[in-house]
């Protein structure tokens, strides 16, 4: 798999506010089927960066909360409302929907593959998709919020899941990223 790496010069993320100093690297697979390749590369990177258990946090749709939580027999999953509302439509009626946020415990590689298989499409629909070592995720002003003290490294799906961003206090160079991706 070929990919591109970009070292950010500013530290602003789309889906999550991060307090503290860090380095950010966007990683994009060079493939026509970029969502599938982003999923594979992000999973492989998570397996190398994190120790079990670690966590996938993602946002979804208000009309799928019950369906998502019905998988509690398969996954350790929790739900919280983000505090943000989005304008949406159902049955030809417009309404303000609460954006739900889920956290799934990743206990092994099979769970990671299944979680990506079940829900990574949300990342391609521009919903927050975040992998961290830390279990809890708080919300501030309707958006995910964390600190570099809580999470020394994170993976965040980029816009349309065209790639992902690796956030870290300890990974400093493109060469570090290349060594992780080998």
pLDDT of residue 1: 75
Contacts of 133 (CB under 8 A, 6+ apart): 50, 51, 54, 55, 151, 152, 153
pLDDT of residue 12: 80
Phi-psi region of 20 (alpha: psi -120 to 50; beta: other; left: phi over 0): left
Give the pLDDT means over successive 10-residue stretches in the chain (182 positions).
Answer: 88 87 94 93 96 97 94 95 89 91 97 98 94 94 92 94 94 92 86
- Domain layout of the chain by residue ranges: 3-181
Asked if 74 and 114 touch (Cβ cutoff 8 Å), the reply is yes
Beta strand pairing call for 93-106 and 54-59 = antiparallel
Question: Mapped to the 3 state alphabet, what secondary structure does 49-105 carry?
Answer: HCCCCEEEEEECCHHHHHHHHHHHHCCCEEEEEEEEEEEEEECCEEEEEEEEEEEEE
Q: How large is the C-alpha radius of gyration of the chain?
A: 16
């Amino acid at each position: 798999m070929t990919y591109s790496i970009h070292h950010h010069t500013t530290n602003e993320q789309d889906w999550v506010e991060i307090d503290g100093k860090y380095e950010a690297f966007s990683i994009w697979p060079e493939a026509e089927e970029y969502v599938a390749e982003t999923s594979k590369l992000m999973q492989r990177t998570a397996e190398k960066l994190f120790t079990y258990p670690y966590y996938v946090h993602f946002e979804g749709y208000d009309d799928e909360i019950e369906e998502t939580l019905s998988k509690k027999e398969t996954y350790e999953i929790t739900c919280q409302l983000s505090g943000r509302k989005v304008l949406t439509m159902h049955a030809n009626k417009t309404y303000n929907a609460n954006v739900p946020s889920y956290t799934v415990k990743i206990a092994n590689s099979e769970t990671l593959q299944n979680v990506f298989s079940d829900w990574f499409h949300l990342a391609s629909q521009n919903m927050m998709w975040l992998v961290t070592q830390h279990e809890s995720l708080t919300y501030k002003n309707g958006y995910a919020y964390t600190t570099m003290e809580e999470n020394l490294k994170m993976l965040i799906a980029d816009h349309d899941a065209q790639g992902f961003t690796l956030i870290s206090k300890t990974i400093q160079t493109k060469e570090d990223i290349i060594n992780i991706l080998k």
